[in-house]
Amino acid sequence: MTSLNETHDPALSSWVESANSADTDFPIQNLPFGVFRRAGTTEAFRGGVAIGDQILDLAAVRTARAIRSTAAANALRAASGASLNALMAMGPDAWSALRLALSRALRAGSPAQVKLGGALVAQREAEMARPASVGDFTDFYTSIHHATAVGRLFRPDNPLLPNYKWVPIAYHGRASSIGTSGQRFARPKGQILPAGANTPVYEACKRLDYELELGAFVGIGNALGTSVPMDKAERHLFGLVLLNDWSARDIQAWEYQPLGPFLAKSFATTISPWIVTMEALQPYRAAWTRPDGDPQPLPHLDSPDNRAQGAIDIALEVWIESERMRGEHSGPSLLSRSNFRDSYWTWAQMLAHHTSNGCNLATGDLFGSGTQSGPRPEEGGALLELSKGGKEPVTLANGETRSFVEDGDTITFRAACMAPGRARIGFGACAGTVMPAL
C-alpha cells in the first residue's frame, strides 16, 4: 500500500478556483483519471483528470510540455489516449510519478498555470467514456450485512451460508454491458416462474433492483499459473469507481438454481467515469478487523499490512429520482447511506484470492465489491433489503413508494471520504435510468 506524501497535504490549494471549494469531489488532493471529449463534437476521446468543476486535458498538457520529469512524461503519454489501459499497465511507480507532477502543476502559484490555462474543459461541457477497456468483470459479495439480510429473506433459520466467513465469494460477470454514468437501458426480459406456477413465462422483469457497489480496476496483471500474495496485492490495483450492479430479482430467482447469476445481471452495469486512485485514498485507510468469535482468514488472505490499513472509510449514498419528481422539479430522494469500511473482505483479499488458483488477471479487469450494506436496516444497499423483499414498500420524499425500481426512475450513487483536517475525496456521480422494456 502507498504512503502519505506531499500530494495528500490538506493545506494544498489550486489555481483552479473551483477545486478549493469545501464541498467539491475533486480537490487537488484527489486528481482522478477519466476519458472524455467535448460533448456534441467528433473529437477523439482522450485522458483527463478532474480538478474542481473542470477537466485537465492530458493531451493538451502533453502538447504544452508542462511536465518535465521523464517518468511522469512517459506516464502522461500513456494517459493521453482513448483509454487508460496503457497508463494502468505501467504500474504504481508511474501512476504516482504522474499524479505528483500534475499536483505540482495545478497548485496555487505554479508557473505551469501559464501553459495549462487553456488545457481546461468544463465538466458540464464534456462527454465521458468508459475509462478503460474491460476484458473481464468479477463481482464479489463482500458485505456480510447484505449477505445476512438477503439470506434471511429466503432462509430465516440459516441466513448466512457456512463458507461466507472463510472465502471471498464471487461470480464471473459480463463486461460488454458495462456503461458509464448516464447509462439508459431497457427493462430486461427473461424467464420468470410466477408464484404458485409450475411453468415459467418469458416477460419483462417486475422486480428490478440496483446494487450499491464499488468497483476496482486492475492495473497490472499476473501471468497464468502464478498467484499474487497479500503483501503485493494492492500494487496491482489502479483505483476505484462507483458501480451499480443492476439486478432482475425475479429472473435471478428462477435461473440461478443450481449455478450463479446469468441474464438477471448481464443486461447492464453502470460505473462512475472517474477512477479515484488507490494513492488518493491513502489518508482514509483504517484498520481491518474481524468480529470476536468469527474465524480468522486463512494464511493466503492475511497480512500485517491488511490488518493495519486494509479497510477504507468511504461514505456511500443512494438517491432516486422518479419521472414525477422530474416533472415537479422536486429533486431526488435519499434511499440509504452506508460505508465501505463495513465490508467483510478487503480489496487485497479479493485480488489475492482471485489469483490464488493461478488465474491470470489483465490490465483493465474490473472487480465489483458486491452490495455495500451497513449493520442497520436503513443502511441496505438494495431495494430488496430496504423493502424486505417487496413486502414493505419504501416511502419516498414526495410520497411515492417503491418496492423495486420502476420505469423512468434514475438511480444515482454518490460517495466521498471525509474527516476533519483532511481533504474531501469524492467519486462524482454514478447514475443510470431504467426505460420501458422493448
What's the rounded Cα separation, in Å, for the pair 148 and 136? 28
- Lookup result for grid cell 419516498: 396
DSSP 100: H
What's the rounded Cα separation, in Å, for the pair 152 and 385? 10
Is 213 annotated in a binding site? The answer is yes
Identify each DSSP E strand in 26-82 by its residue range.
Answer: 33-38, 46-51, 54-57
Is 269 annotated in a binding site? The answer is yes
Is 2 annotated in a binding site? The answer is no
What's the rounded Cα separation, in Å, for the pair 239 and 242? 11
Is 371 annotated in a binding site? The answer is yes
Is 155 annotated in a binding site? The answer is yes
Distance of CA 83 to the CA centre of its chain: 17
Is 250 annotated in a binding site? The answer is no
What's the rounded Cα separation, in Å, for the pair 408 and 1? 42
Is 6 annotated in a binding site? The answer is no
Amino acid letter for position 279: E
Of 146, 236, 353, 354, catalytic: 146
Q: Is 353 a catalytic residue?
A: no
Is 257 annotated in a binding site? The answer is no
Is 141 annotated in a binding site? The answer is yes
CB 102 within 8 A of CB 15: no
What's the rounded Cα separation, in Å, for the pair 81 and 59? 8
Is 139 annotated in a binding site? The answer is yes
What's the rounded Cα separation, in Å, for the pair 251 and 265? 9
Candidates 176, 171, 238, 163; CA nearest to 211 is 171
List, in sequence order, the alpha helices (H) in 225-329.
230-233, 249-255, 263-266, 304-309, 323-328
Is 211 annotated in a binding site? The answer is yes
Please give the annotated binding residues, written as ranges. 139, 141, 155, 211, 213, 245, 252, 256, 265, 269, 371
Tell me the catalytic residues: 146
Which positions make up the binding site for Mg(2+)? 245, 265, 269
Query: Which positions make up the binding site for Ca(2+)?
Result: 139, 211, 213, 245
Residue stretches of the annotated binding site for substrate? 141, 155, 252, 256, 371
